[in-house]
Structures are given as structure tokens and as C-alpha cells.
Amino acid sequence: MNIFKKTILTVLASLFIIGNVSAEKIKIGTEGAYPPWNSKDASGNLIGFEVELAKELCAIMKYECTIVEQDWDGMIPALVMRKFDAIMAGMSITAERQKTITFSQGYADEVASLAVMKGSSLEGMDTPEGINLSLGGSDVKKALKTLTGALAGKTVCTQTGTIHQNFLESGDVGSVNVRTYKTQDEVNLDLTSGRCDVALAAAVAFTDYADKSGKPVVLVGPTFSGGAFGNGVGVGIRQASDSAIGKRDAKILKDFNKAINKARKQGIISKLAIKHFGFDASM
Amino acid sequence: MDFELMITSFPKLLGATVVTLKLLSASLFFGLFLGLFFAILRLNKNIFINKFAYGYSYIFRGTPLLVQIFIIYFGLGQIEYLRTTFLWVILKEPYWCAIIAFTLNTGAYTSEILRSAFQTIKPGIIEAGKSLGISNKIIFYKIQIPIAIRQSLPAYGNEIILMMKGTSLASTVTLMDLTGVAKYIISTTFKPIEVFIVAGGIYLFMTFIIHNVIKYLEKKYSFQQ
């Protein structure tokens, strides 16, 4: 028994030493169901903007990274329970999430928009092109008022646990009838079937779906940013603590911040954004 | 462990339990009639009627309930023609889609439970009725059905419990049942363990009640030896 214990300890110790000497090994969680941010190809491989960006960032940090899949609704709990070490899943930096986890600096801007099927009565809404909820002002107020009137009595669909749900429930557009789905795919399905009058998500999620499915999904109203929509998309990481693992988390955060700076300067983020979104969403 | 969250989420989850119970009672109610109907068809000597009833129970017992809900909710929703018919009024609502799926599923299991109960009735009992000059119709309604129901109580109790747990799948089609609200609370607090423990406790309590009601009925209607 004693020998057995010793062997285990030696093996564990050696693993620890090797781990320290060689490159840091981390796992990055992504959803794989939010194209073009992150999705899967026909054979099940993870693809998309964040999958490619993660590879670039890991190369800069000299980390050995494995990208793993995790359902959106369990993303933050899975990070906290150490199923992986970082989140790159189109997750916007919000105060609500920062109570539980921490974020790197933002690497891309998520522009949210409402979408309807062509021919909907909501088309041609009289609002500015984009509103920033953090800035406020009479324009924003007027736009929110228009939206409140337009959305009254409509079923608005969105993915569970997203900034879009937070916004719809914030009261900024009155009390709307919100219906939430596990994935964006399901939102798209029910938008086309007509169960949803209107849907809210990242604008690119709708344009990507419209392109690939050929369904007449069109964006309406203003694009949203600020306020409930957070401050850009960043890498989600566990909050640092004084323990050995907590210090490792702090180091991962520091390395990601540095790597994002470097990738931005070299134009890697812009290049990937243009490739996947069709415009430069880097920040 | 965040006990405060467990306490604050309890009333919200209890409110959502009403939706769960509504789904359960509606699907059990319709499912019982559907099950009885198909059990009777199964006893029919006509091979086409018999095979049709068998096919129904084979399909719905042979596929996962989740797949059935998805086909009825997302699948039927994609058929453009259907959306122009009156059926869409019902199928548009996730609530009715869930009830239709649950009813068809529990109906299939109930038909099997009742069929086997009918088949275990000893021929002697029916013959005794015939020898007293009772008509076939009366024998069926007054002898066979009551005995079959009594025989199937333990198995049917099981089916109720399975169906109660099955209603948690309603949350996958946007319904805010017990599981749906639990997931909603988790999506804002990021604490699945606490919330799921409370939700699991409520499910367990419902199982406890159903189990004891069935046990009481079994005792009340037990055959005098």
C-alpha cells in the first residue's frame, strides 16, 4: 500500500514538474453554435472567428491549447468548476457576469440587432442606425420609445442567458413577451416558422443565417451597444485568488491581455474579423 | 453552498411547478383515453387494426421523448403548408406542442399496460359472466375494464412518475416549467448546483405523493383472496 501511494505521489509530482517546465496547457471553452463567432463544420470540427483567434492567441502566448465545446447555458458554471480555463464564445463583458468571473480586455465588438421575416409590419421602423445605451440622450430615448411601441404585444425571441435577454427584460422597451431558446439555431427556426414575431441577437448571427439558409430574414431597427449590451466581447477567465491555481488563473489573464494587444497591433484580429463577419469588428 | 439562493429561488420554482403539473395532468388525462382506445384496438382480431395499434405503440415507445417533442415543435413548424391551415393555431403554441407530444408518448405506454392487463384476465371470470347470461358489452364494461384497471395500477403508477419527470423536456421548447425556470435562474446566477438541488427536491416530493396515492389505491382495490 505504501509503495502504491509513493508511486502515485511520484507520478503526480513528475507531472507537475513537467507541466511547469513545458508550455502551459489550457483548455478553452466555446459554444460551437453561434456562427460566425463559433460553430461546427459538417464533420463536427469547431470553426469560426473565435476558434481561429484562439489558435492565434495561443501561438503568441506559446500555450498548448485545446478547444472544447460547452453548451451556452452551462458556460460560466463549467469555467468556475474548472472544466476549462478560458471562455471564448462571443461572450460580452457585462457587470452581471463580472460578479462571477473576470474578463480580459475586449477583442471584438458584438453589434446586436432585431430581425424579422421580410414583409413584417416592423419593417421600416423610424429609428437611428445605431444607438449606444451608455451614452443616453434624447435620440436614444426617442428610439427606445419607438421600439417600445413597435414591440408591444409581439413575441420577441432570443437565446437564454444572453445580453439580448437582459436587455429585453430590463424594461428599456417596456414589458415585452420574451421567449428564450437554448441555442441561436432554435431562435432562427422559430423566427422562420412564424412563432416569433421578431428576434434579437448579434446582427451577424442573422445575416449569416439568411446567407446560408436563403430564408428572407432581415434586420430592423437600430443596432444596439452599451448598457445591457456590455463592453465588447472578451476572454472569460476565473477570478484570481491567493491559491496556487488562483495564481495560475491570474497569469492566464495577464498573458491573454498581452496576446490580444499584440494580435491587435499585428492586425490579426482585424483580418480574422473581416474574414468571418465581412467587416472589421475588432476592438 | 449558497443557501440564501436556495431559499430565494424556492418560491419561484414552486410557481413553475404549477406549469409542470398542468402539463402532466393534461397529458395523463388525454393519454389515458388514447391508451385505452389503442389497447382495445390491440385486442381486435382484425389484423390491420391490430397492426395499426401495434405500430403506434412501437413508434412512440421506440423513440426518445425529446426527439418526439422536437419533431412536433420544430419539425412541423418548418412545413410551410401546415402554417396556412387551422392546425397552426394549436401547433404555434409551445404549450400545446408539448401536451401533444406527451399525450402521444404516454398513450403508447398506457396502451401496452392496459393491453397486458386485459390479457391477464382469466378466461374463467369472463365465462362465469357468460354463464350468468350477462351480455358481452356488460362483461366488458363491468368486469374486464375494472379488473384491467386494477391489474395495471402498479405499472401505471410507474408511468405517471416517468411522465412527471418527462415533462422537464418541455423546457426545451421554451416553456417555463420547473426545469425551465431552474435553468432561467441559473442563467443569471451561474449556480447550477444549488438551484438544481431545490428543483430536484420538488420533483422528488411529487414522486413521493404520486407513489403514495397509487399505493393507497392498490390497497383499496386489492382483490380479496
Complex prediction ipTM: 0.84
Mean pLDDT across chain A: 91
Q: Give B158 to chain A, closest Cα distance, Å.
A: 30
pLDDT in tens, B1-35: 899 999 999 999 999 999 999 999 999 999 999 99
Over residues B153-177, the mean pLDDT reads: 96
Positive or negative CA dihedral for A134, A135, A138, A144?
negative
Rounded Cα–Cα distance for residues B5 and B181 (Å) = 14
A194 part of contact set with chain B, CB < 8 Å:
yes
Size of interface A-B (CB pairs under 8 A): 46
Domain ranges of chain B: 3-220
Contact flag B183-A96 (C-beta cutoff 8 Å): no
Catalogue the long-range contacts made by B21-24 (C-beta closer than 8 Å, 24 or more residues apart). B21/B206, B23/B95, B23/B98, B23/B99, B23/B102, B23/B167, B23/B170, B23/B175, B23/B177, B24/B102, B24/B160, B24/B163, B24/B164, B24/B167
Q: Give A282 to chain B, closest Cα distance, Å.
A: 27
pLDDT value at residue A241: 87
A69 part of contact set with chain B, CB < 8 Å:
no
Contact flag B174-A74 (C-beta cutoff 8 Å): no
Contact B163, B27 (CB under 8 A): yes
pLDDT value at residue B225: 46
Residue of A nearest to B190 (CA): A77
Please name the fold of domain B3-220: MetI-like fold (1.10.3720)
**Percentage of residues of chain A with pLDDT beyond 70:** 92
Chain A partners of B183 at a C-beta cutoff of 8 Å? 73, 160
Phi, psi angle pair for A101, to nearest 5°: -130, 180
B119-to-A68, A273, B40, B149, B165 alpha-carbon distances in Å: 53, 67, 11, 12, 29
Residue A20: pLDDT over 90: no
Rounded Cα–Cα distance for residues A24 and A206 (Å) = 37
Bond prior to A35 in cis (omega within 30° of 0): no
Residue of B nearest to A188 (CA): B74
Contact B65, A178 (CB under 8 A): no
Helix (H) or strand (E) holding B189: helix B178-189
At residue B145 the predicted structure's pLDDT band, cuts being 50, 70 and 90, is confident
pLDDT in tens, A56-65: 999 999 999 9
A215 part of contact set with chain B, CB < 8 Å:
no
Rounded Cα–Cα distance for residues B121 and B142 (Å) = 13
Contact A69, A32 (CB under 8 A): yes
Interface of B with A (CB under 8 A): 74, 77-78, 83, 92, 94, 172, 174, 183-184, 186-188, 190-192
- For the record, the C-alpha cell of A136 comes out as 443616453
Positive or negative CA dihedral for A100, A104, A106, A108?
negative
pLDDT value at residue A25: 94
